[in-house]
Amino acid sequence: MPNDFLSPADQAAAEQQQRLLAAQVVRHDQLPTTIRTVAGVDVAYAQHSDQLVAAAVLLDAATLEIRHTAVVRLGAAFPYIPGLFSFRELPPIQQALAQLPEAPDLVICDGQGLAHPRRFGLACHLGVATGLPTIGCAKTRLVGSYHALGHPRGSTAELVLDGEVVGQALRTQPGINPLFVSIGHRVSLATACHWVLRCAPTYRQPETTRAADHLVNQELHRLLAAALPPAPDGM
DNA sequence: GCGACAG
DNA sequence: ATCTTGTCGC
């Protein structure tokens, strides 16, 4: 019942749902004065399976050390369609987040926030659905255009769509492809970039995403191994 | 009509 | 995202 809005009857209904919920996105800072924990979420799946594996990881915001983790498995209820990504990945992600012993002060998502055709990417959807402050942090662009950015770590370039700044291309490591950061919910674009850069001191991707990615792949491999016929040990 | 298209 | 083998480098 509470998940009805996550499983629209068809594509048109899903898009209408996005237009409706997009009005609820808070684009300014409305998060704790002191951020103590930051969470990462990610999803993985096997091509010939309808099973989605999602993970939520809670990191200490000061040290970036892992404090808690949660992994869940759930059947896919929606196909992957660019622009309707959240209807596929949000259900398992929300379940994983709910399994954490405590709610995070901030969540960094693996996907877009406002940098979306209807200004309602995964990060916005998760934020509005949970009320948590969220940031969109994607590896590639979905919409908008941007100019070349500098090579140093921390260089940025505005991502523009229909004359509106919907995000920022942010270089987290010198000379390495930038990430695409956008507002999810209750976090301004400047603050979002600040936290993504802060969480990515060593690698291109923030530690939150890296930790969640590692967990889902580990769980996926366990699933695949358990599903395959036991290999004969030829000795 | 022809590309582009988060994960 | 997933599939897929080796290769180059710290």
Task: Note the CA–C1' distance, A221 to C6, in angstroms.
Answer: 22
Instruction: Give A48-75 pLDDT, tens digit per residue.
Output: 888 999 999 999 999 999 999 999 999 9
pLDDT exceeds cutoff 50 at A189:
yes
User: Nearest nt to A53, CA vs C1'?
Assistant: C1
Task: Note the CA–C1' distance, A138 to B5, in angstroms.
Answer: 14
Percentage of the residues of chain A whose pLDDT score is greater than 90? 87
Q: State whether the beta carbon of A108 lies below 7 angstroms from any atom of strand B.
A: no
Can you say whether the dihedral through the CA atoms of A30, A112, A205, A94 is positive or negative?
positive
Which top CATH class is A33-226? alpha beta
pLDDT of residue A224: 80
Burial classification of residue A199, based on how many CB atoms lie within 10 Å of its CB (0-12 exposed, 13-18 middle, 19 or more buried)? buried
- pLDDT band of residue A3 (cuts 50, 70, 90) is very low
Residue A111's nearest CA partner among A132, A90, A95, A133 is A90
Distance (Å, whole) CA A58 – CA A39: 4
Beta strands at A106-109 and A134-138: parallel, antiparallel or unpaired: parallel
Nucleotides of C under 7 A from a protein CB: 1-3
Instruction: Give A33-44 pLDDT, tens digit per residue.
Output: 999 999 999 999
With contact defined as beta carbons under 8 Å apart, do A169 and A196 qualify?
A: no
Instruction: Give A204-228 pLDDT, tens digit per residue.
Output: 999 999 999 999 999 999 988 777 6
User: Nearest nt to A140, CA vs C1'?
Assistant: B6
Instruction: Give A117-169 pLDDT, tens digit per residue.
Output: 999 999 999 999 999 999 999 999 999 999 999 999 999 999 999 999 999 99
Give Cα A189 to chain centroid, integer Å: 15
pLDDT of residue A211: 97
pLDDT of residue A8: 86
pLDDT exceeds cutoff 60 at A5:
no
Q: State whether the beta carbon of A186 lies below 7 angstroms from any atom of strand B.
A: no
With contact defined as beta carbons under 8 Å apart, do A43 and A216 qualify?
A: yes
Q: What is the DSSP letter of A6?
A: G
User: Nearest nt to A139, CA vs C1'?
Assistant: B6
